[in-house]
Structure 1
Amino acid sequence: PGWVRTEASMRSLGRMAEQGGVSEPALLEDMVGAQALPGLMEPADMAGTYLFLASDLAANITGQSLGVDRGEVPW
């Protein structure tokens, strides 16, 4: 998935900001700005995708990549 607000992702954000010499809020703003939908996903935002893939509705889906990333543009 794209960026999801978890303890681990926020630690990564902090390390990336430190290594890049920028503030965490500035880096987060840049990352969120590279998405079609504003904001950071929360863990619960992924639940529907997981439930769908685990259900019979997805029985004919194999070997596919499903992007759940708020329309993130790689940077």
Structure 2
Amino acid sequence: EAFAPTSLEIVNDSAKHRGHMGDDGSGESHFTILIEAPAFAHKSRLARQRMVNGALGDIPGDRVHALAIKATAPETTT
């Protein structure tokens, strides 16, 4: 909701990390977020990741061991 995304996909990658460090056995320890939103236009990759982490609050690092973020802006035409 924070970004009014045009596309959002959350992928649970936990099964790929079963038995590795950070796997708490819950099946919800590793995720990838693919998000496209106009709010990311003209922002660096790092700024986009910081924006997403800020919106997630205590989820990364507290309830989720690993989070990959792929944040993009919709392509614009002139």
Pair in the same fold by TM > 0.5:
no
If you compute each CA radius of gyration, which structure gives the higher value, 1 or 2? 1
TM-score normalized with structure 1 length? 0.31
Give 1 or 2: higher helix fraction. 1
Structure 2 length normalisation: TM-score? 0.30
